[in-house]
Amino acid sequence: MTLTRRDFLRTTALVGATAATAGALRPNAAHADFTALRASRKLKILILGGTAFLGPSVVQEALARGHEITLFNRGRTNTDMFPDIEKLLGDRDGDLESLKNRKWDVCLDNSGYIPHMVRDSAELLAPNIGQYIFISSISVYADFSKRGINEKSPVGVVTAEELAAAKTQKDITGANYGPLKALCEQAAQAACPGRTCVIRPGLIVGPMDRSDRFTYWPVRVARGGEVLAPGTPDTVTQVMDVRDLADFVIRCLEKNTNGVFNATSAPGELTMGELLETCRRVSGSNATFTWAEKEFLDKHEVAAWSDMPVWVPLDGEEAGHPFIDVSEALKAGLVYRPISETVRGTLDWWATVPQERKDAPMKAGITAEREAELLSAWHAAHG
């Protein structure tokens, strides 16, 4: 089955610069020193979730800046993480008791997918918080066929029947994920008018990404040998290092920045060729790249975003995909590290995962056996 870009973003979300540096993201205004500095004012921050992927990066950055953190979750994921901070047990779906009669400066909601759950938490917390930050997704947008999608572009919608049927995360599909996220945004904004910051990340990548949506490339290239690469080296893409996203979240809460912000890398800057070459350079492998054209991949049912992560053909309904406008976030303080640091951070983290995880098939990308078959077919077809 071929997964669309939106299908893949939804699936991975649920399981989730300098010009002198080769392979770096290059918007000069977005380059920064990432040394953590103490905040001028200590904030009390409530995080709904906080123990998977984005959450730990936010917690680490916030603690380094001197803030006080409380986590609210079901206590099922990475329970040994952050033993010294306050943890409240509960469930977004009906058990918010431990949040009652407590005050925080900021609530960060990075685990909201179902509108009624976001509404319930936001309405409960509204009288006792100063700001509500909701982590959404660029998947909210209805049309990716044109370049330059910005925060005012139309979002997707669901019918009343489809909304009523979406009661838990198990009911989320590739078709309703984005529209449901849009409704979650609206629920947060309605509960905390004028005090809501909505951040719409693109493809979040880097350490602790359980989806393998980016990890596939550093790990595969590090293994060396002939690598099947999609399309052409100059095909552009956009990604968002999870640590840069966490930094942006902290900037928004420290400055009490509200509004809606797309958050991904600068449009048209990062190419697939730069990404793969950076993976080779950082890992020190002997990898070579065989770039297979879209027609070949289509013929052999190799899907963009899932079989060939990060890449999508720049035509048809996805033509505008890697050209998301992030100018508002740049003005609000979004900064990027070089892509080489994202690759290095991913490989360093991958080295720490259990061996059984490394031995299991990756959740994105293709197996070594499948790759060998495709490379053989490509060489047979091209002489």
Summarised one tens digit per residue, pLDDT across range 293-320 is 999 999 999 999 999 999 999 888 888 9
Nearest to 181 by CA among 119, 226, 136: 136
Cβ-based neighbour number of residue 146 at 10 Å: 11
Query: For residue 31, what pLDDT is reported?
Result: 45
- Domain limits for position 11: 5-382
Token readout for 248 is 């942006």
The span from the first CA to the last CA of the chain, in angstroms, equals: 29
**Phi/psi at 233 (nearest 5 deg)?**
-60, -25
CA-to-CA separations, 177 to 13, 97, 195, 277, 287, in angstroms, rounded = 10, 27, 24, 33, 37
Tens of pLDDT along 15-53?
Answer: 442 222 233 333 333 444 566 688 999 999 999 999 999
Does the pLDDT at position 59 exceed 60?
yes
Query: For residue 37, what pLDDT is reported?
Result: 82
Which residues lie below 8 Å from residue 91, measured CB to CB, with a gap of 6+? 74
**Token match 């930050």: residue?**
133
Q: Assign residue 279 the CATH number of its domain.
A: 3.40.50.720
Instruction: Tally the C-alpha atoms within 13 A of residue 3's C-alpha that lie toward its C-beta.
Output: 22
Number of domains present in the structure of the chain: 1
User: How far out from the chain centre does Cα 8 lie?
Assistant: 12
User: How far out from the chain centre does Cα 323 lie?
Assistant: 16
Tens of pLDDT along 222-262?
Answer: 999 999 999 999 999 999 999 999 999 999 999 999 999 99
